[in-house]
Amino acid sequence: MLRSKIAGIGMYVPKNVITNQDLTQYMDTNDEWIQERTGIKERRYADRTGETTATMGVEAAKIAIERAGIIAQDIDFIVFATLSPDYYFPGCGVLVQRALKLKEIGALDIRNQCSGFVYALSVADQFIKTGMYKNILVIGSEKHSFGLDFSTRGRNVAVIFGDGAGAVVLQPTQDPNQGILSTHLHSDGESAEILAMYNPGTHANHWGQYADFAEAKIGEQFMSHEMIDKAQNFPFMDGPAVFKKAVVKFPEVVMEALQANGLQPSDINMLIPHQANLRIAQFVQQQLKLGDDQVYNNIQQYGNTTAASVPIALCEAWEKGKIRQGDLVCLAAFGSGFTWASALLKW
């Protein structure tokens, strides 16, 4: 039976380290307040002019390609996950294709926010298993720092997010002791607006109680002064509501993956949760009764890099020798939409 394996993995984070103390220049906050609520000590911010979501993805991709033992021209498909693309359109996938001078291959962009990389991995897995492609480049990359509200008004969101990218090369394998065992994808749009960026958007007068968020005159539909005055061009998050949902769906989707393969939490060698909030990860660890050596977190250093957080954490854990050949690895994510997902694999 044909399976997909991660043949190469890479990550890239910007050089600019932004500490909690640095943020106090712009908003009423402090290190203790941020760490207590999120676990974050610092994060990375991309260069304002030289680094973009796509360029960071390219740097991570170069490392993954080299570690896979192939050259860029061997890549036959791209799946790029992000919520912060370089352009409103086109997507980042084609920018990677151009930058790496790849063949005229397909490029697919995934918009599933924090769950984006696991969704992208699942999509790529299907293409590999059917034999359609043999070397798929899967990237998760984010440049949040360009679009956050760095004021006391926006501090609950701004202190959480950071920039960075991770990438893997997926290849086929017939080794029964290696590869992706299963992926599991879910969504529930009932509370979509409690973690969202309302504008720019085309939702005026279409979403009931949220219609007033986009009352714009002709010629102002894309972005009006009123939208900017109301801070609707920045992300909005009802943190407590998101937390309550996440701590339920995170362990659920991990257990779903384990049960689908006749396994239990004690079988996991390494759980890589999406780096949303250290408190969420710790709660999930307790729920699943996992030891500290079975869960990898690096939100303390990088913040929440949404679609990039799973591949960055996976790459860093592997580089530190915490993931070895034959290990059972579970990837799990929960985020805006709501969407949540898991992937179980043998390294």
Taking a C-beta distance cutoff of 8 angstroms, is the pair 81, 341 a contact?
Answer: no
Report the alpha-carbon distance of residue 57 to residue 141 in Å, rounded: 6
State both tokens at 183.
Answer: 């992926």
Tell me the C-alpha distance between 215 and 218, whole Å: 10
Distance CA 250, CA 279 (A): 12
Paired tokens of 227: 């939208």
Query: Out of 92, 114, 315, 330, which one is annotated catalytic?
Result: 114
Q: How far apart are CA 116 and CA 85, in angstroms?
A: 13
**The one catalytic residue among 156, 184, 199, 274:** 274
- Is 330 among the catalytic positions? no
In whole angstroms, what is the distance from residue 233 CA to residue 149 CA? Answer: 9
C-alpha 60 chain-centroid distance: 14
Does the annotation count 298 as an active-site position?
no
Token match 């984070």: residue?
13
State the pairing for strand pair 136-142/164-173.
antiparallel
Which position among 92, 304, 315, 330 bears the catalytic label? 304
d(CA 29, CA 6): 41
Known catalytic residue at 304: yes
Q: Which residues are catalytic?
A: 114, 274, 304
